[in-house]
Structure 1
Amino acid sequence: MATIFSHIAVMTFPFSSHPSALLNLVRRLAASAPTVRFSFLSTAKSNQAIFSGQQYDNIKPYDISDGLPEGYVFTGNVHETVEAFMKDTPGNFKEGMREAEAEAGVKVSCFLTDAFLAFGGEMADAMGVPWIAFWIGGPCSLSIHIHTDPIRSTVGDTGMAQNAEQTLKFIPGMSKIQIRDLPEGIIDHLEMPIAHALHIMGLKLPGATAVVLNSYEEIDLTIITDLKTKLKKVLSVGPSTLTSSSPSKPDESGCLPWLDKHKAASVAYISFGTILVPPPSELAALAEAIEASGVPYLWSLPDHSRHHLPQGFVERTSTRGMIVSWAPQLQVLAHTSVGIHITHSGWNSVLESISYAVPMICRPFFADNMLNCRMVEDVWEIGVRVEDGILTKSGTMKAIEHLLSNDKGKKLKENIRLLQESAVKAVGSNDPGRQF
């Protein structure tokens, strides 16, 4: 390893796709700065999952406390584990940083943190070093958090229900965003610890040396231009899908060979991320819609949820369908046979769909899902939201028909292809990468 001249402490929010997204950024930085040491601070569970035997010359993972009591058994309540972790911060990060400094023999000279961990700015200030914050979501959701107080003062005390269809036209780029699209914690459920942390984040980020976005300016030019007036520096470095060569788990289920057997743009890929599973009634309705529509499908569905599918569904659709517990999403979306992505509309999934020009059917659940869904359907016009925001047989069939129809579907495909082209141009690539 080269002599270390600088030492960056990387602080992660160890849930969902947050750590892997931050590691992708760090890998790119580390490759271009071999004399910089990156100490990657996350929980043991998170580090084990994202490093999975990978070693890097100048990136070293350090395990910090997750705040859970010894012998804790996961109850299925994600909020419980998040709250336990947050109660242990920032002490667990400070301890991990001391260990990293002692081993490296070099003091930390910069903090690179998940933007959610706004206390990283206070730690950086105390040491007199820069604070770089990485926002894993899209520009729209970041803008919402920075404008939280103006939104609250405009909506007043009447809450979300009474103002559901009111638009946020007083915020640049938000003329089609409605109050009902807002994440929890903006004007309701303010008592939630995560909501409080995000509010603090929105207030603290203007003090960051720079805020890094996994996005590109052309996709939300008005919003990003406004963010630049609120923040010291905004760096758009995405889509990471098109810039990162991060290792992927093997395609153990044979998704790609199975896709090879199907016609171009004919398969519906179904995935709701690494945490979410729709309610049993919606899983059944989605399966009924897929069966009735006759569309070939590849469904990433945890084993423990398969018993909610209609009896005989798997057998009746076996000649045109495949269900796996995990799918290599980037390779799947890049495959020419995939023509529809049925998704929860999390930012990573939306950006990946754009990167490979696959129109979406969105069933949003929480956090930024509703915002992203609104952008997909009404701003960019590259997909549709399922009827009433719930997966029903008839509503899902209408959405599938919409995407597969010659006129409506063609327009969506043209729009997402234009966004894909702008994304490829933004990262300086000549090829969106249909082959892996």
Structure 2
Amino acid sequence: MEKQKNGYKAHCLVLSYPTQGHINPMLQFSKRLDNKGVRVTLVTTFSISKTIHKEATSIALDTISDGYDDGGIEQAESIQAYLDSFWRVGSQTLTQLLEKFSSSGSPVDCIVYDAFLPWALDVAKKFGLIGAVFFTMSCAVDNILYQVHKGALKLPLSESEILLPGLPPLEREDMPSFISDFGSYPAFFDMVVQQFSNIDKADWVLCNTFYELEQEVVDWMAKIWPLRTIGPTIPSMFLDGRIKDDKVYGFSIFNPSTDACMKWLDDRPKGSVVYVSFGSMAVLEVEQMEELAWGLRMSNNYFLWVVRASEEVKLPKNFMEETAEKGLVVHWCPQLEVLTHKTVGCFVTHCGWNSTLEALSFGVPMVAVPQWTDQSTNAKYIMDVWKMGLKAPADEKGFVRREAVEYCLKEIMEGERGKEIKKNALKWKKLAVEAVEEGGSSDINIEEFVAKLVS
């Protein structure tokens, strides 16, 4: 309390895994802490910091090394080599960063670290700091991975129906891809399971969700750890409006075609546009890109499709020219502004957790086309638990065919099921806003966290 009397702000380092999907929620959480009077420094790798475009944010950015300062994971000999290097070099350079802040008269009080980087907790404890683990995936997915970690869920899967505490009955296809397709991406599998290696030593367990969204599994996990839900971590002006001018996440790896997108949307009828995006990392097969393209065309809806520059070559020949009257294809877009635009009536998504939370928070119905990692579980919840979208069925090759795309879009945009889905979507939108408003479940949890931090 003496620190507070002297006008001291607690100093919190927020350490993110170096991808856009992890930086965004952790940066947004940083803004919430900053708004409550805590000094925050967001930390990521030197390699990713060179590609970041800084937008309007007051949060300071600092860096540590992953051992591959020129190119990050792309420079590494293998995924495993990268993760091993990040653990070793990251621990050393995080230690140096903490020493730098201590000697400069602004010592760190707490490290909030990405769950993918459990070694950061060991560094925090070496310095006697508060350590808070931050999960960027849903509590449902975290629980599944925890059950694997503790040996309660045996792999490879042998049961057709999987029953886990706090979760609805799940089938193999509803599980994270590292589990349903056991043996795929072994280095990433080890990383997501190792999130729980030292979690019992963490002072706080923070999850980017909100209580009303995953009540049963949150209640179950809160019996084991000091768990708090602190989401949805979305810029304030799109939810509660309490943080002035907070309209963007703040650090972007991609340059959006903002003017072109918004001008195009402004010229379409209300609720008439299908927005399509598979995030910053998903890589689709050529055959899947073609099926999506023709499904969009067959549905006869207006569409705005984000196709990263590296993926554009996979589009059918002359597709953009032939669909120019109905569609716009861009390399990147301001997703928050697009999802909240009155002309957008549906979101075709890979079901990354950030995209899922954004659509939930803005009341936008979804067509789920999951690709890997946690996305199949998110798709299950979108369709069967939250009932605010449809999961597009895939064939025996794992591809969603054009007929399935057309069917799902017509159901949501025009069909009877679409009416119920839209009704549910509005319900979740209301609950998301209430969660972050003053006195809402997420706001209370952040208040509690800050109170302990500055005491």
- Shorter-chain TM-score bucket reads 0.7 to 0.9
Quick check: 2:12–2:41 contact (8 Å CA) kept in 1? yes
* 1:328-360 deviation line (CA, Å, top 9, x unaligned): 000000011111111110010001111111111
Does 1:166 pair with 2:161?
yes
Q: Distance in 1 between matches of 2:77 and 2:371?
A: 15
Q: Aligned runs of 1:199-214 on 2, under 5 Å? A: 199-214=193-208
Aligned residue-pair number: 417
Q: Distance in 2 between matches of 1:279 and 1:317?
A: 21
Aligned to 1:108: 108
Aligned to 1:392: 401
Does 1:325 pair with 2:331?
yes
Aligned to 2:230: 236
Report the Cα offset of residue 74 of structure 1. 3.7
Aligned to 2:96: 95
* 1:235-278 deviation line (CA, Å, top 9, x unaligned): 33324253572536775442112111111211110100011131
The 1:304/1:76 distance shift into structure 2, 3 A limit, reads: farther
Does 1:364 pair with 2:370?
yes
Other structure's SS at 2:43 match:
strand
Gap runs ≥5 in structure 2: 1-5, 440-455
Report the Cα offset of residue 408 of structure 1. 1.0
Q: Distance in 1 between matches of 2:98 and 2:310?
A: 38
Report the Cα offset of residue 69 of structure 1. 6.8
Q: Distance in 2 between matches of 1:22 and 1:50?
A: 15
Aligned to 1:18: 22
Aligned to 1:420: 429
Other structure's SS at 1:88 match:
helix
Q: Distance in 1 between matches of 2:419 and 2:51?
A: 39
Q: Aligned runs of 1:251-400 on 2, under 5 Å? A: 251-388=257-394, 390-400=399-409
The 1:293/1:6 distance shift into structure 2, 3 A limit, reads: closer
Q: Distance in 2 between matches of 1:406 and 1:330?
A: 26
Aligned to 1:178: 171
Report the Cα offset of residue 299 of structure 1. 0.6
Other structure's SS at 1:284 match:
helix
Q: Which amino acid aligns with 2:419?
A: K
Aligned to 1:215: 209
> TM-score, with normalisation over the residues of structure 2?
0.83
Does 1:145 pair with 2:145?
yes
Q: Distance in 2 between matches of 1:233 and 1:73?
A: 31
The 1:215/1:257 distance shift into structure 2, 3 A limit, reads: same
State the percentage of identical aligned residues. Answer: 24
The 1:81/1:283 distance shift into structure 2, 3 A limit, reads: farther
Quick check: 1:340–1:358 contact (8 Å CA) kept in 2? yes
Quick check: 1:184–1:366 contact (8 Å CA) kept in 2? yes
Other structure's SS at 2:144 match:
helix
> TM-score, with normalisation over the residues of structure 1?
0.87
* 1:80-100 deviation line (CA, Å, top 9, x unaligned): 785353453322322222233
Other structure's SS at 1:390 match:
coil
Q: Distance in 2 between matches of 1:383 and 1:81?
A: 39
* 1:337-390 deviation line (CA, Å, top 9, x unaligned): 111111110010001111111111111111111110111111111111111252
Q: Which amino acid aligns with 2:280?
A: T
Q: Single out whichever of 116-125 and 417-426 deviates more from structure 2.
A: 116-125
Quick check: 2:411–2:418 contact (8 Å CA) kept in 1? yes
Other structure's SS at 1:425 match:
helix
Quick check: 2:143–2:217 contact (8 Å CA) kept in 1? yes
Quick check: 1:41–1:93 contact (8 Å CA) kept in 2? no
Aligned to 2:450: none
The 1:81/1:363 distance shift into structure 2, 3 A limit, reads: farther
Q: Distance in 2 between matches of 1:16 and 1:189?
A: 26
Between the two structures, name the one with larger relative contact order (CA 8 Å, sep ≥ 6): 2
Other structure's SS at 2:100 match:
helix
The CA RMSD measured in Å over matched residues stands at: 2.8
Q: Which amino acid aligns with 1:167?
A: I
The 1:71/1:339 distance shift into structure 2, 3 A limit, reads: closer
Q: Which amino acid aligns with 2:14?
A: V
The 1:131/1:74 distance shift into structure 2, 3 A limit, reads: closer
* 1:4-37 deviation line (CA, Å, top 9, x unaligned): 443322222112321222111112211221xx43
Q: Which amino acid aligns with 2:23?
A: P
Q: Which amino acid aligns with 1:44?
A: F
Q: Distance in 2 between matches of 1:148 and 1:236?
A: 25
Quick check: 1:213–1:236 contact (8 Å CA) kept in 2? yes
